[in-house]
Amino acid sequence: MTKGVQDLMVEVARVRDAFYSAIYSASDLDAAMALTAADCALVNLPSGSGATGADGLRRYLADDVLPHLPADLTFRRISRTGDRWRLAQEDIVSFTHDLELPWLLPGVAPTHRRAEVLAISVVTVQRSLITSHRTLWDQVTLLTQLHL
């Protein structure tokens, strides 16, 4: 592997991590948007929530994600695999379902139960900007833990 390929792989991981930090740690919409391409597509599966394009993504993050993050939301990395264009990461995501989560469980009222589920995200980066972000949630485990 060349130094150039290694540098690209490091950059993909840096961009992904900065995006997650902007959303889940800093709640900084502008910082998150600065890391996305104008035609970025973000989707959460199986709920199908998400958005495409700068305007749609800004609205989605501002309205459906940032005001609806559980206070005790944590991510614990299980694995990470990447190449010079994308990064796939498995995380155990833990939180108390103490508010509505339109980005994860649209239309479901808070159950006030604790959940710990697997989420697998694949982020594609070109020219230091996210062009695609897909997250697959273990919906069966999530619904079971929340008694839904």
Q: What's the predicted TM-score (pTM) here?
A: 0.94
**Is residue 6 scored above 90 in pLDDT?**
no
Q: Which three-class secondary structure state does DSSP give residue 28? A: coil
Instruction: Encode 88-110: b = buried (16+ Cβ within 10 Å), e = exposed.
Output: ebebebebebeebbbbbbeeeee
| CA dist list (Å): 73 to 24, 38, 96, 101 | 8, 28, 7, 12
Mean pLDDT of the 10-25 span: 96
**Is residue 5 scored above 90 in pLDDT?**
no
